[in-house]
Amino acid sequence: MNNPFTGSGVALVTPFHKDGSIDFDALKKLVQLQIDGGTDFLVVQGTTGESPTLSQDEKMQVLQTVMDVNQGKLKIVYGVGGNNTLAVGENLKKVPAGVDGILSVSPYYNKPIQKGIIEHYKYIASCTDLPIILYNVPGRTGSNVLPETTITLAEIPNIVAMKEASGSMEQIMEIIRLRKPDFGVLSGDDAITMPLIAAGADGVISVVANAFPEKFSKMVHASMEGDLDKARKEHYDLLPITKMFFEEGNPGGVKVALAVRGIMEENMRLPLFPVSDGLRARITLETNNLLGI
């Protein structure tokens, strides 16, 4: 199975009302912004979507809303991961038609050895026919999926790509060097997406592109086409706000920018908490600068 997920992917945030309920009208506006802004595929209920705080019913309602607005225009990847292998497998069996792929994070908190990670993914891959994107984010999981583990997992037919958020250019380039031609490597760090694509990566699953799909997709596509002058311009235009978005955790920062754009309110569910007034003011100013307001 070849990797069908390339270019500018967006890890969609979940909009909330002040009372904590999901703001489905704002979600619809967000999806339309991505369709109009040049995004290539959508990721629903990743970490950026605050998935740990949503019930299974709420996740399905969010997914259905995204599919209803999308109408097949962009590929949809659905986040199904966890540290209980059997439970992840059962959840995969319930994924509805209309989903194009799965993003599944390496098991967190348990801190499995590499062999345990391999067996986890072998099992969950047997529970679905959909293409699976692996997700390595050691800062959240407490363990690192080593390049040789990724290459081993790439032999499983429906494991098609790795979202790499280790932050290690050396590690990611080693995967690119060793992979088979049809296995995708996607950046999981917005700030290093442009250099990673220049090094051979196939795209990104982005946080920043929630708020700036137009500029971010320009940067990604220019990088993929080898137009590095154009890619560098967009990269350095976005770099200051990219840093701001992650200063006080994700997705608090990007929700400020989305509020400035009139897409949604900044609300999040506990234990996440809105950003400080000082950071909000800086993000607001930079968002207006980027939008030419």
Q: Is the pLDDT of residue 293 over 90?
A: no
Please give the pLDDT value at position 1: 83
Tens digits of residue pLDDT in 260-283: 999 999 999 999 999 999 999 999
List the domain range (segments joined by +) for residue 29: 7-227
Does a structural domain hold residue 198?
Answer: yes
Domain count, the chain: 1
Does a structural domain hold residue 45?
Answer: yes
Does a structural domain hold residue 83?
Answer: yes
* Residues found in the chain: 293
Please give the pLDDT value at position 89: 97
String of DSSP letters for 233-245: HHHHHHHHHHHHH
Tens digits of residue pLDDT in 18-75: 999 999 999 999 999 999 999 999 999 999 999 999 999 999 999 999 999 999 999 9
Tens digits of residue pLDDT in 119-161: 999 999 999 999 999 999 999 999 999 999 999 999 999 999 9
d(Cα 159, Cα 90) in Å, to the nearest integer? 18
Which residue's structure tokens are 């037919």?
Answer: 157
Residue 190, classed as helix, strand or coil, is: helix
Based on the residue annotation, tell me whether 28 is a catalytic residue of this protein.
no
* Active-site position among 59, 75, 163, 215: 163
Q: Is the pLDDT of residue 172 over 90?
A: yes
Does a structural domain hold residue 283?
Answer: no
Residue 133, classed as helix, strand or coil, is: strand
Q: Is the pLDDT of residue 96 over 90?
A: yes
pTM for this one? 0.96
Based on the residue annotation, tell me whether 109 is a catalytic residue of this protein.
no
d(Cα 125, Cα 132) in Å, to the nearest integer? 7
Does a structural domain hold residue 133?
Answer: yes
Number of neighbours of residue 101 by Cβ within 10 angstroms? 23
CATH number at residue 137: 3.20.20.70
Does a structural domain hold residue 277?
Answer: no
Average pLDDT, the chain: 97
Does a structural domain hold residue 260?
Answer: no
Question: Could you give the residue ranges of the DSSP H alpha helices within the chain?
Answer: 24-37, 56-70, 85-92, 114-125, 138-141, 147-153, 169-178, 193-198, 213-224, 228-245, 252-260, 277-291
Q: Read off the pLDDT band of 288 (50, 70, 90).
A: very high
Once rounded to an integer, what is the mean pLDDT over residues 188-198?
A: 97
The fraction of the chain above a pLDDT of 70, given in percent, is 100
Does a structural domain hold residue 99?
Answer: yes
* Active-site position among 135, 215, 218, 255: 135
